[in-house]
Amino acid sequence: MSTIQSRIVRYGELKPCKTAFIDAHTPGSDQKENFTIIGGGVSESPDQHVHITDKIGFNIGAAGQPPKCRNSLHSHTTAEVFFVAKGRWRFFWGLHGTAGEFVAEEGDIFNIPTGIFRGFENIGTDYGMIMSMLGGDDAGGGVTWAPHVIEDAQAHGLMLGDNGVLYDSKKGEELPHNVRPMPLLTEEELKAYPEVPVDAVIGTYVARYWDLMALGANKPAKVIGENGIIKDKPGFEVDFLTRGSAVTEAVVVDKPVVLMPMRGYWTIRINDVEVTLSNGDTALVLPGESYSAQPSMTGEASLYRITTTDDPAGATWIGA
């Protein structure tokens, strides 16, 4: 069993993978960095470092990108939730990224509906970071790329095998004899990926930071869940805590809990281990352990708390 200390990952200790996905050589996407914090993630590269290997029913990761760098259009079969840790980001969706878009500021959270192509780019002035929550221990088995993304990547030396592994012709790599290129989605298959209008996304799958600060002023704000601001059952629930809704008394958990500060410095105590965490840091609490979480100094303070549920990972839940 992993130690408590090994389940605390600090922002400054995150180890990036620059070859995680098929667009790693494609101009405009070749400077992005992928981080896998908890669980296996969806990286297509054997170079990906996994910080915490515990399987807790969902994955925690991050994407770091310099200004004007974008993540190419892809789709997931389980939840892909992002909150902006640093910078300003534009999210866009649809086969060619033209069905809709919105700009997310620091602290905003977006539960991207399954089964649509989505991408994102850093439109800020500095290196930016978005933290991710992916449904399922295997994060839905990976990603499905828009056909033009695979074609662009191949033109720049990266091939994706039907085994989900990347091969780099610039390094002299070739597809193994028993591996074929990942087939492109056909026109018929693409019909299953809807072009969702922006008004069906913004009001349903997005929660803004300052609204959460108000809603979480006296008790934790339920962000994602059956009765959340964003109604979904992706295999985990997301709450938002502020100074006024901090966990001041130790609580024993029966399901895995992940704590991710957004603003301020937080004193996190897990059993008898006490640490101070801030923006970009992550802590995992396992069943049977106790934890408390409260701001350690004055000023703005906020934290995302993610808890495993018994719901299976899968397509976005549409309430009854």
pLDDT tens digits for 184-216?
Answer: 999 999 999 999 999 999 989 999 999 999 999
The number of folded domains in the chain is 2
Are 197 and 220 found together in one domain? no
pLDDT value of residue 176: 92
Q: Is the residue at 40 inside a domain?
A: yes
Q: Is the residue at 319 inside a domain?
A: no
pLDDT value of residue 31: 84
pLDDT value of residue 320: 58
Residue 319 clears pLDDT 90, i.e. is over it: no
Residue 259 clears pLDDT 80, i.e. is over it: yes
pLDDT value of residue 69: 92
Residue 20 clears pLDDT 70, i.e. is over it: no
Distance of alpha carbon 129 from alpha carbon 145, whole angstroms: 22
Q: Is the residue at 81 inside a domain?
A: yes
pTM: 0.93
Q: Which domain holds residue 121?
A: 5-205
